[in-house]
Amino acid sequence: MVETVIDLIRHGEPIGGRRYRGHAIDDLLTEKGWSQMWRAVGDSPAWQQIISSPLQRCHAFAAALGEKHRINVSIEPRFKEVGFGAWEGLSHDEIKIDRAGEYQCFMNDPVHYRPQGAEALDDFIRRVSTAYHEVITRYQGQHCLIVTHAGVMRAIIAQIVHADPVGLYRIKISNGGITRIRHTETHGILECLNGKL
């Protein structure tokens, strides 16, 4: 039986602290953020391919990791974070306090209550899922790493376990956390969430 193993890693802590970045805010990683990611991947990764979001908080590490271990790195624009519209650049506390009503509606039903100008959640899930299926097909039988964002990882996990998109933001994804999905010819299995190798 042919198995394809996909590891997903969320970028480490970015400069600017905890805030909604979406794909308009392209912050670099802090020193702590780099450390979180290096610690997570270990010393002897077994990946044949690294695929990265184009945003710096992902791609800079993917490029450094690929160079260190001589692993090919490609950029997949569809793995960039979901667009948060008017919330981009604002801290989590600013949203929870200054826009408490908006925030509560969003957490209760992020499909129908989006920040003003935000990317529709269904569109986001569709773009991520399409890119993810292409990765599985292109690299069938291989072990790959996708360097990406919490939202992208939530969308992929929800698809694998057939979870309703309304619960997407109830999945905690840690900075530098690794999620592993093992695919057979018929289905994918979520093996690990927020782990380290």
Domain architecture of the chain: domains with CATH = 4-84+120-195 (3.40.50.1240)
What number of other Cβ atoms are within 10 A of residue 17's Cβ? 11
Per-residue pLDDT reduced to its tens digit, 123-153: 999 999 999 999 999 999 999 999 999 999 9
Residue with tokens 């801290």: 91
d(CA 126, CA 102): 24
Q: How confident is the model at residue 45 (pLDDT cuts 50, 70, 90)?
A: confident
CB 151 within 8 A of CB 55: no
| Residue 71 phi, psi dihedral angles, 5° rounding | -110, 135
- Predicted TM-score (pTM) of the model is 0.95
**The predicted structure's pLDDT at residue 133:** 96
Residue 196 has pLDDT above 80, yes or no: no
Helix (H, G, I), strand (E, B) or coil at 73: strand
